[in-house]
Structure 1
Amino acid sequence: MTEPTTESTTDPTARPMVAVEALTRTYRTGRIEVPALRGASFTVAPGELVAIKGRSGSGKTTLLNLIGGLDSPDGGTVRVDGRDIGALGENDLLALRRDHIGFVFQSHGLIPVLSAAENVEVPLRLVRTPPAERDERVRLLLALVGLADHAAQRPYELSGGQRQRVAIARALANRPRLLLADEPTGQLDSETAAAIMPLLRAVVSSEGVTVLVATHDEALLAEADRVLSLEDGLTTEAPA
């Protein structure tokens, strides 16, 4: 792997931002069982940019969904910033996802009738951020992702890479501690995709956020602080 282009913000003595222990998840259809995770364990330090690689169907999306509280494991624990998310009630889990975790998916999921700025603004409206503060936050985030001049454009007027940048800005709106990105370059051409990982690294630097990205894109893997391999439902540290 290449050396990071910006100084790492990790503190080896800090409490892990993510701690996964003996995580298992099996999907069942009738009598058929498909194990996705068989005891995955790892930690991610605050300020780290960690990539998870694995073949299609290896369980990367399942793992991110479990960490983000979008799914429940059959066994094991997930702690986010010290909190066992399996022990949280539904209201507390909703608050955790809303206030502390940002999600970026392969399909950007923008609202078609809203402009780029309005899409980024949605999470801020949900938590009733005052208008002046909201406008300033949207302006700063669009500038961060290089779209300051595209605030008024709707998704259909933007390229695939620009739409994904808006999605990243929206995920950062409420200043999450953790950003989960699932194959964020999966629908982008190689040149556009190559710009996404430097953007995520800039996010780590400027926003102080921890990033966990699932990908098989070699360009993205090369820029990560660490790479975890997911195979046969288990995670291992990939060699540098």
Structure 2
Amino acid sequence: MSRQNMVVTGAAGVGGAPSAHPDEVVRVSGVSRTFGRGEHAVYAVRDVSFTANRGELVAIRGRSGAGKTTLLNLIGGLDRPDSGQVVVAGHEVTSAGEAELLRLRRGTVGFVFQTFGLVPILSAAENVGVPLRLAQVPAAEREERVAVLLELVGLGGHAAQRPYELSGGQQQRVAVARALANEPDLLIADEPTGQLDSETGRSIMDLLRAVVHARGMTALVATHDPALIDLADRVLVLRDGRLVDG
């Protein structure tokens, strides 16, 4: 599939229907994902549909095993649904080829994971710069952008430190800066506060909210922490793979 075919053009949305909102970034339509077959089948996501707009932080809430991670993986192109359709920033994700998905993950979608995922031997600045190197951003521009991002997340004075020299909250801030490096339209955060204490976790959620609103991005944040839910603009509730609220 060519990049032109991957992009939903004009005013049409999924299936040719008009987009419900001019700032719509995410459209999930009737998405389902099952693992296994027959009596051993696990229905991770069942017929989920929703949209998310630019400048909106959407929390996806549910118990462990509710389907949050699977849903985020489907939206971010890390997995494929059995049925339904996902469109992100005009890109039809569901049937995209591997090359198109790679471009999507490098430029359109940024990821923040619970486990930080930093490269231990690289400094904070070098970790943030990894996506820019992959995108072949010139060195001078890369260094300038990395410095701005580290300042944005409150770590301007920690550029030379390696992950083991940083606290958990600082490591997650580096991960957030790295996810923002290529200025994505969508930020996907899967339990980003799961390994942090409540106060640090709230500071990370505050940071995500501030970045989303300041930069006009969209963020989908999976969490089961009720203390963080009130920081979201909207809350989607998953139960046994189904969207039951939102």
Shared fold (TM-score, shorter chain, > 0.5):
yes
**Counterparts of residues 1-240 of structure 1 (less than 5 Å):** 13-28=21-36, 32-238=40-246
Scaled by the length of structure 2, what TM-score is found?
0.89
When the two structures are aligned, how many residues end up with a matched partner? Answer: 227
CA contact (8 A) 1:15 1:82 kept: no
Contact 2:55 2:215 in 1 (8 A): no
SS in 2 for 1:236: strand
Q: Secondary structure at the match of 2:121?
A: coil
- State whether residues 120 and 173 of structure 1, in contact with CA within 8 Å, keep that contact through their aligned partners in structure 2: yes
Maintained 8 Å contact 2:56/2:213: no
Structure 1 residues 103-162: Cα deviation after superposition (integer angstroms, max 9, x where no partner):
000000100000000000111011110111101100010001000011110000000000
Structure 2 Cα separation of the partners of residues 129 and 234 of structure 1: 41
Distance 1:95 1:176 in 2: 11
Calculate the aligned-residue CA RMSD, in Å. 1.4
Q: Check conservation: 2:116, 2:172, Cα contact below 8 A.
A: yes
Listed as ranges, the gaps of 5+ residues in structure 1 are 1-11
Superposition misfits of 4+ residues, deviation over 3 angstroms:
none
Verify the 8 A CA contact 2:89 2:108 in the aligned structure 1.
no
DSSP-derived class of the 1:20 partner: strand
Give the counterpart letter for 1:139 in structure 2: A
Percent of aligned pairs with the same residue?
A: 63
Structure 2 unaligned blocks of 5 or more: 1-19
Give a deviation string over 1:25-60, Cα, whole Å, max 9, x none: 011178611101110111101111000000000000
Normalising by the residue count of structure 1, what TM-score does the alignment of the two structures yield? 0.91
Counterpart CA distance in 2 for 1:230 and 1:182 is 14
Matched-pair contact (CA < 8 Å) for 1:51–1:226: yes
Contact 1:164 1:184 survives alignment (8 Å): yes
Deviation of 1:15 after TM superposition, in Å, equals 4.3
